[in-house]
Amino acid sequence: MREKVKDIDFRSADHVVQEIRDMNVKGGSPFGRAAAWALKLATQKEKLNTKRELRTRYKDLKKQMLTLKPTMGTIHNSCNIIEEVYEENKNEDLKVIKEKVIKVCDNIIDNSYAAIDKMAEVGANLIKDGSTIMMHSYTSTLMAIFIKAAEQGKKFTVICTESRPLRESRKAVHYLQEWDEKIIYITDAEAYEFMPKADFILVGADSLASNGSIANKMGTAMLAALAKLCKKPFYVAAELYKYNPLTKKGVPIELERRTENEIISKGDFKSHKNLTVINQFFDVTPASDITGLICEYGLINSSNIDFYWNELVKKLKEA
C-alpha cells in the first residue's frame, strides 16, 4: 500500500497560521483542514475563559488566515461554519460550546479525508493503463487519484507543468517518482506543444463558484481554453467543501496576488520607471471550459455544486 499524502502535525493555532504564512500548507483541502485544526487547537489549548474571548479568538484566526490566503474557499467555510455553530449555541455553557466546536472541527477534518478517498476512486477510474494525463500545480487530491490508479496496477504518464512562480509541481514529481510512474516535466509555456499527447487534463481547485466556474493556480484557465481548442477533456478534482456560498449572491471569488519578488530578481531591469509588475497567483476557469467535476458525489457537472451544499453543511454540523 502506497503512503497517502499527510498533513502537517500542527501544535497550536499560531503554528497553523505560521505554516500557512510559510507556504508549507499546499492544496485547497489541506487549507480547510488546517483552518479546522487552528480553531480546534485554540478551543482546546488556549485560556479562553469567556464566550467573548472565544468568539474574539475565532474572528482573529479567521482574519489572519484569510489575509494570507483569501482565495481558499475551504478556509472561508471552516471559519464560517464554526462561527455559525457558536451563534447557534451561544446561550449554552462555555464548556458545551467548546465541545460542539471541537466535534464539528473533527467532522470537517474527517469528512475532508473521506471526500478525498471517494474522489480518488472516481478519478482513478478515468485513468486507463497506458494513459497520459496533463496536470497543473499541486493538490493532495490529484496525488490521491494517482496513488489509487497506481494501486490498481495501472502504468501511466503524467505531463507535469511546473506551475510558476513557485513551481509547486515539483512536489508532484517527487510523489510520482516514488510510485514509479513516468513523468514529463515541462514549463507552463510548453503546454500547447505537449497537450496533444495527453488523453485528458486534470487539475485541482481552490474555490468553487455557484455558476460552475473554479478558481485555481494561475495558468489553469489558459490550460482549459487550450484543452477546448485541442478537443481534450478537462477535469477538475475538488471536494464540495471548496464551494464559496457567497458566489450565489454575486460576490466574486477574491484572487490572491503575491509579491513581485517571486517573479523578478534584482537587476532584471535598469529601472522600474513606468513599470508595473503583477504576480497574479490564481485565475478563474469558466464552467463552459470544464468537462466535469470530480467530487465526493461522483463525476458531476460543475454547475450543480449548489445542489449538494446544504446537505454537506448539515452533515458537518451534526455534533
pLDDT, tens digit (0-9, with 9 covering 90-100), for 143-166: 999 999 999 999 999 999 999 999
**Of the CATH numbers 2.60.120.200, 3.30.420.10, 3.40.50.720, 3.40.50.10470, which one belongs to the domain with range 119-308?**
3.40.50.10470
The per-residue pLDDT for range 258-271, each reduced to its tens digit, is: 999 999 999 999 99
Residues classed as catalytic: 206
pLDDT of 6 > 80? The answer is: no
The fold adopted by the segment(s) 13-115 is: Four Helix Bundle (Hemerythrin (Met), subunit A) (1.20.120)
Average pLDDT over residues 126-130: 97
User: pTM to 2 decimals?
Assistant: 0.87
- For 27-44, the pLDDT digits (tens) are 888 999 999 999 999 999
- For residues 196 and 171, the answer to whether their CB atoms sit within 8 Å is no
pLDDT of residue 26: 85
- Sketch the domain layout of the chain as residue ranges: 13-115, 119-308
The whole-number pLDDT of residue 303 equals 84
